[in-house]
Amino acid sequence: MRNANELYQILLASRGKPRWWSEDPFTVMFQAVLVQNTAWRSVEKTCEAIGDKLTPQTIGAMSLEELELLIRPCGFCKAKARTIQALVLWFGQYDFSARAVEEIPAFRLRRELLSIRGIGAETADVILVYAFYKPSFIIDAYTRRLLSRLGCGFSDDASVRQFFEDTLPKDARVYGWYHWLILEHCISTCKKVPRCSGCPLKDSCRHSLSQEQARPGSGQRKDLP
């Protein structure tokens, strides 16, 4: 495996077509905030309880205290409630129209999202890709972990981004599917089993659990070993 495209093909071949985060842009935004440093199961349970009331209108009509209570099981509820309220306000500037937001150039949209307190790079990229179809590669703990296990140690996220965005078609769907594939791969295969038999990455996947396996000084590499 030499580049991000080949890794993608391997993951795709082993897992099949991945699912999208959610068809509903506001659901993506809402869940992207809730899942910050939180188990996905907690987010699922919370959203199941909310049901069809997961709309910017309904959430936006809640008081801060109501919202905090609603999302409490996800942790950091005060910070997250404030962030979600800010997101709703921001989305309201575009009349809660995803189509309207999609008109915004990606770099400007990313900047707008990052200006909201509680929204960092990962959350912004999740929203860009899954809610508004802008190709901005999502770098999360799973992505870093997988690359590290592949023995490819990037010194920072900028290098990781470069690795993916240099060789991939600038297509939000590819980015979204890719991220989902990494996630599914790490959860189902790499997370629990120190050395898994039947891993589609085979010898390339060393399943090293420590950063020490990552080669220092290889941050500029664009190829995997």
Partner DNA sequence: AGCCAGGGTCTAA
Partner DNA sequence: TTAGACCATGGC
Distance (Å, rounded) from C-alpha 90 to C-alpha 88? 5
How far apart are CB 95 and DNA at their closest, in Å? 25
How far apart are CB 2 and DNA at their closest, in Å? 26
**Radius of gyration of the chain measured on its C-alpha atoms:** 18
Nearest to 186 by CA among 125, 143, 133: 143
Choose between 6 and 133: whose C-beta lies nearer to DNA: 133
How far apart are CB 33 and DNA at their closest, in Å? 8
Distance (Å, rounded) from C-alpha 53 to C-alpha 125? 25
How far apart are CB 186 and DNA at their closest, in Å? 8
Q: Which residues contact 135 (CB under 8 A, 6 or more apart)?
A: 106, 128, 129, 165, 168, 170, 171, 172, 174, 175
Residues that bind DNA (CB under 7 A): 21, 32, 35-42, 45, 72-79, 116-124, 126, 138, 140-142, 156, 179, 183, 187
Q: Contact 206/151 with Cβ under 8 angstroms?
A: yes
How far apart are CB 64 and DNA at their closest, in Å? 12
Q: Which residues contact 44 (CB under 8 A, 6 or more apart)?
A: none
How far apart are CB 145 and DNA at their closest, in Å? 8
Choose between 21 and 154: whose C-beta lies nearer to DNA: 21
Structure tokens at 176: 């979204």
Structure tokens at 210: 């420590």
Choose between 64 and 141: whose C-beta lies nearer to DNA: 141
Choose between 89 and 100: whose C-beta lies nearer to DNA: 89
Choose between 169 and 216: whose C-beta lies nearer to DNA: 216
Choose between 203 and 217: whose C-beta lies nearer to DNA: 217
